Amino acid sequence: GAVIISLNARTMRAANVMASFIILPMSVALQTEAALILLGRTEFLWGFAGLMLALAAILLRMGLNGFSREALLARDSGLHRPLQRAANALRASFQRRPGILRLLWWRRTALLVAAVGLPAGAAAGYVAGITGAIPAPVVRPALSTLIAAAGGGSQLDQALAIISHNLLAILLVAPLALITAGLSGFLLTFLPGFLLGFAASQSSWSIALTGIVPNGLVEIPVAIIAGGLALQIGAATIHMEASGGWTARVLAAGADYVRALRWLVPALIVAAVLEVRFG
């Protein structure tokens, strides 16, 4: 982690200072591990250990692929006009980007992974419901919250409540992808699928599927596209090369997500109208 953080510095002094900040998250990780030991919940402790192993593998891969002492020493000394350089990098990330159809074709692998999250979550939720692995009182508040998100009042008020709820979800998933290596993009489809499968286990699939028609015909593709592009942001975050270019790749992935919002937001409005009118 210290090596990866230092790779984004432009001077050796800045690299040493930035690398020292790895102490803070590591101290939090050690305190979390100690708390889990005191709780005596071995399943949580093993899950935390698995998370740390996955994180270590990702950091190791990033460090081996991205570290180059020669490239670090060859960088320009100091930070000449940092604000202007940041503005130029942000502007360049939006230039010569593909249209929505070409973008979806380029990101088809990430979209496929996001699409798999929905049936995978539905299967996991159904199994958790019928086996009692997760008690129903634990999941029912989440289902009640989603139902209450539509709000009351007029149809316009309900539509605005649904749009704000869905819009908040797709706006949060992109920045979260930066710190979760794209996991938030997968969860954007996995968690709704899990709730759908759990609801089906408590009633039937026909009743559960009826609850997402017809608005789900629009919301599900929107969630898959947003989740796939968020996965691409996470992939760009953990992909490093010795030649550099990490910032440009992350900004380009973020720019693709922002540009896609021009199509996703109107689709969410259509889905909200369908849910209020025919739901």
Instruction: Tell me the per-residue pLDDT of 13-59, one tens digit each, with 9 for 90 and over.
Output: 666 776 666 777 777 778 888 887 887 777 778 888 888 888 778 77
Mean pLDDT of the chain: 81
CA distance 235 to 231: 6
| Reported confidence tier of residue 70, pLDDT bands at 50, 70, 90 | low
- Residue 59: CB atoms within 10 A of its CB come to 17
Query: Which of 7-21, 107-121, 238-252 has the largest mean confidence?
Result: 107-121
Q: What is the model's pLDDT at position 58?
A: 76
Dihedral angle sign, alpha carbons of residues 50, 116, 111, 230: negative
Mean pLDDT of 68-88: 63
Q: What is the model's pLDDT at position 265?
A: 93
Q: What is the model's pLDDT at position 167?
A: 92
| Reported confidence tier of residue 157, pLDDT bands at 50, 70, 90 | confident
pLDDT digits (tens, 9 = 90+) for 240-251: 765 566 778 888
Whether the ω angle into residue 141 lies within 30 degrees of 0, i.e. cis, is no
Which pTM value belongs to this model? Answer: 0.79
CA distance 218 to 215: 6
Q: What is the model's pLDDT at position 126?
A: 92
Q: What is the model's pLDDT at position 149?
A: 57
Dihedral angle sign, alpha carbons of residues 86, 89, 93, 94: positive
Q: Is 162 exposed, middle or buried (0-12, 13-18, 19+ CB in 10 A)?
A: buried
